[in-house]
Chain A
Amino acid sequence: MNVLVLMEPGEPSRQALTLARKFGEPHGLPVQAVQPFAPDALAAALARAVEELDAGAVFAAGTDRGNEVMARLAARLNLPLAANCIGAAPGDPATVTRLRWGGSLLEEARLHSPRPLVTVAPHTVPADDGPQPPTIEVGSPALGDLVVRVSDHIKPTNGGISLADAKVIVSGGRGVGSKEGFAIIEELAGLLGAAVGCSRAVTSAGWRPHSDQVGQTGTKVAPEVYIACGISGATQHMAGLKGAKRILAINSDPQAPLMLNADYTVTGDLKEIVPAISAEIRRARAGRTSS
């Protein structure tokens, strides 16, 4: 049986390809086949390929692009879609395991469909080193499928270190207390060459911009060290921390979920602890230069 895979550059599509091999012989449709990006044109091309190859299933990475194109394909073919799966097995019905709540919960589900449509949550399935699939040729898109297409691109304004790439993040939560309270967080971040992050409570209060927010509806981060100051650790926040190597939690409540899910903890008032850490870094550096 043939299966289709929407291929984007990068690891997540290779992970989707790995899962697709369990369903049949994969054929790849590169997302760059339509330039500039036009999701309806890609969905139309996938729909044509489903027909021509009599494909038994279609896979894509559970990226923004992958989920979007697959949802359009599902609407077009009038089929169900299982998004952000971490496992899938063929059968009647097919079975899938998928992420809920940004990965804080898993769902086992049956997918009743003549052609399972599945997106694979990035970095949840190891990619195999199997062969690249043959590439499907995409004809010229119909005009009607180009109504929604990228017509311009805005480069990010380069203000400091981006959260997604930061090696160290100093993050503040409700416990910081106010907009002004972030001065000590910024000071520590400056000393560490770190990015400043925050929890959703902080953005909702208007203390920091949404671009600083770490979590399910903010940025997902993967630093070497994540320093959480006065953040309780709701699932909303933890969903953004799955890639963090080491977590240091500073909180007055030793039973806060983040304190129980950290690698290192300091209990107490962050307004004393954070400046003390900054002072200690300065002392350590001064000692290093004088000796």
Chain B
Amino acid sequence: MRIAVCIKRVPITGGRIVLTADARAINTQHLGFTMSPHEECGVEEAVRLIEANKGDSVVLTLGPPEAVEQLRDAMALGIDRAIHLQTDGQEWDGESTAAALLDAIRADETSNGPFDIIFFGNESADSGGFQVGLRVAYALNRPCVTGLKRVTLEGSSVRCEQEVEDGRDVYVVPLPAVLTVKEGLNLPRYPSVPGRMRARSKPVADVTPARPAPRLELVKLLVPAGQGRRAESLGSGAAAAPAVVDVFQKAGVL
């Protein structure tokens, strides 16, 4: 079985987002980075499927040179190899991201055969475009099911559970397929020390796609005005309990 998983490097924003001077990006000077949360679950699911069925797993990302850290993180969890679509750090829109990933996936499939499953996050944590996985699926003419909280192989098909308002909708689609997943699909493991060591020597193939002019063109970012909450202190320690109960009574929840 062959599985690909596409991830995105995003900053860990903490409590308050600060923008760069030109307001076109987040000031990441003092921030760490991670892969987008939904995709962590995509990586975990890929690793579990390969552990159970044997085969080859590949992680792909489009991002700056530093995004190799997130590729190594995925390989530390058990992914076999990586393809890094290097950028100069500029923002790519969903359409161009999908096109670049599609080229890389096609090239890999030409040499190694089709992927049974390609995982994406349902949407990235930062730009939230909700489209990259679907665009790749459409171009490959493969079925795509989105927002998945459970994935089960059933012979040459995959059973997919999608969270909806009143429970879960079930889809069964033939492989090969493209699946976009959400956090909660599984509980991603922590990388082991041997896993981290192995990841260092796993292969990373670099490609440098050209960035087309974005048709969804970022002009600037804004931090929205706060919700205007002004915290009233009810005191400190256990002595504040009566004041808290007063608040509950006024709110009509007691």
Contacts and interface: CB of A to CB of B under 8 A. Distances in A.
25 contacts: A64-B162, A72-B138, A75-B134, A80-B95, A81-B94, A81-B131, A93-B217, A105-B222, A110-B216, A111-B217, A150-B171, A154-B170, A155-B167, A210-B183, A213-B183, A217-B184, A225-B251, A234-B15, A236-B37, A257-B14, A259-B231, A261-B227, A266-B237, A273-B240, A279-B241
B17 interface: yes
B139 A37 contact: no
B128 A99 contact: yes
Interface string B133-157: 0110111000111110000000000
A148 B130 contact: no
Interface string A118-148: 0100000000000000000000000000011
A262 B167 contact: no
A74 B131 contact: yes
A100 interface: yes
A211 B169 CA distance: 16
Interface residues of B, number: 84
Contacts of B15: 232-235, 256-258
B128 A225 contact: no
Contacts of A268: 236-238, 240
Nearest to B129: A83
B139 A75 contact: yes
B253 interface: yes
Interface of A: 37, 39, 64, 67-68, 71-72, 74-76, 79-84, 93, 95, 99-113, 119, 147-156, 167-168, 192, 200, 203-204, 206, 210-211, 213, 216-218, 224-225, 232-236, 242, 245-249, 256-269, 272-273, 275-277, 279-281, 284
B28 interface: no
Which of A148, A224, A276 has the most chain B CB atoms closer than 10 A to its own CB?
A148
Contacts of B182: 217
Given A153-B170, A232-B15, A266 B235 contact: yes
A269 to B, nearest CB: 7
A8 to B, nearest CB: 11
A156 B147 contact: no
A256 B187 CA distance: 27
A236 B10 CA distance: 12
Secondary structure class of chain A's binding surface, majority of residues? mixed
Contacts, number: 264
B135 A148 contact: no
A105 B221 contact: yes
A64 B125 contact: no
A156 B253 contact: no
A213 B128 contact: no
Given A104-B13, A225-B248, A217 B217 contact: no
Which 3 pairs show the lowest CB-CB distances between chains A and B?
A: A257-B15, A210-B184, A75-B138
A100 B170 contact: no
B251 A280 contact: no
B128 A102 contact: yes
Contacts of A277: 241, 244-245
B168 interface: yes
Nearest to A36: B169
B249 to A, nearest CB: 8
A152 B152 CA distance: 14
A192 B170 contact: no
B30 interface: no
Contacts of B245: 277, 280-281, 284
B242 interface: yes
B164 interface: yes
Contact of B241 (A108, A152, A225, A276): A276
B244 A264 contact: yes
A105 B167 CA distance: 30
A232 to B, nearest CB: 6
Contacts of A108: 218-222
Interface in B7-53: 13-17, 26, 37-38
A151 to B, nearest CB: 6
Which of B14, B213, B251 has the most chain A CB atoms closer than 10 A to its own CB?
B251
